[in-house]
Chain A
C-alpha cells in the first residue's frame, strides 16, 4: 500500500526546488519587477526551511518562527524600496529592461 509520510527532508526538498525556481527567474528575467518577484520566491523558500527546522529540531525555542517574522519584515521593506527605485528609473529611462540599465559602464 502506498504510504504517504512527511519528514524534515520533504520540506527541505520543497524549499530547494522553490529556491531554484526563484534563482532561475532572478538570473534570466528581463523585467526588473519580475526579478523582484522572484527574489520574494527565494525568501519564501528560506522561510520554509526556518519553520521546518523549528518544528523538527527545536520545537520549544521558537527561534525559527521569530527569524521568519524578521525575514518577512525585511522582505516587505525590500520590495517597497525596490519598487520605488524601479519607478524612479522608469521615469528617467522610460524602460524597465535590466539590460538597458548600463549608466555605470561608460
Chain B
C-alpha cells in the first residue's frame, strides 16, 4: 500500500497540479472582480488574481517576470487604484461596481471572443520537444535589454517619465481663478 502510494506520488507531475490549481484561482478571482458589487472588494480580488498569476508565471520558468508582477501589479497598481477609489468615493460603497445596460450584448461578444480564441489555440501545432529554458533567466534578460533591445528600453524609460509628468499635471488641484 505504501509502495503504491509512493509510486502514485512520484508519477504525479507537480507542475501540472500547480498549474491547474493556480488557473482555477485566477479564473475564479477574475470573475469575482467583475461580479462583486463593491469596488474595493473587486480590487482585493484583483490582488489575489495578480499574485496567483505570478505563480502561473513561475510554472512558465519566468521567475523574474513573476517578481516584477508581484512588485508592479500586486504592489503598485492595486494600491494606486485603491487611492483613486478613496479620492472619488461616494456614500454607498455597496453600489459602486454595477453593470450598465448592455450586459447581454457585452457578454455575447466576450463569450464569442473566448470561444474563438480557444478554438484557434487548439489548432496550433508546434514541435513538442523544445529545449528547456536556461536556468539563469535574469542574466539573459539583462544582457538582451542592454544590447539588442536598448532603444526600446530607453523609450520605455521616457514613456514612464512622460506618464509621471502627465499624471501629476492632470490630477493637480485646479485653482478657481485659473481661467482668467
A6 touches B16 (CB 8 A): yes
CB contacts (< 8 Å) of A27 on chain B: these are 102, 105-106, 109-110
Closest chain A residue to B34 by CB distance? A25
CB contacts (< 8 Å) of A15 on chain B: these are 117, 121
Which residues 13-59 of A have a CB within 8 angstroms of B?
Answer: 13-25, 27-31, 33-34, 36-38, 40-41, 44, 47-48, 51-52, 54-59
A5, A14, A25, A79: the one within 8 Å of B33 (CB)? A25
Closest chain A residue to B57 by CB distance? A51
Assuming the A-B contacts A28-B100, A51-B62, are A57 and B126 also in contact, with contact meaning beta carbons closer than 8 angstroms in the complex? yes
Closest chain A residue to B143 by CB distance? A62
Digit string of A65-100 for contact with B (CB within 8 Å is 1, else 0)? 110111011111111110111111011000010110
Assuming the A-B contacts A13-B118, A38-B33, A57-B130, are A33 and B81 also in contact, with contact meaning beta carbons closer than 8 angstroms in the complex? yes
CB contacts (< 8 Å) of B57 on chain A: these are 47-48, 51
Interface of chain B, main secondary structure: helix
Interface size class of A (residues with CB under 8 A): 35 or more
A55 touches B170 (CB 8 A): no
Tally of contact residues, B, Cβ under 8 A:
89
Q: Is B131 interfacial (CB-CB < 8 Å)?
A: yes
A21 touches B34 (CB 8 A): yes
B88 touches A90 (CB 8 A): yes
Assuming the A-B contacts A21-B31, A24-B107, A84-B171, are A52 and B97 also in contact, with contact meaning beta carbons closer than 8 angstroms in the complex? no
Q: Can you offer 9 A-B residue contacts whose CB atoms are under 8 A?
A: A24-B110, A31-B39, A31-B96, A34-B42, A47-B65, A58-B130, A65-B137, A77-B159, A79-B81
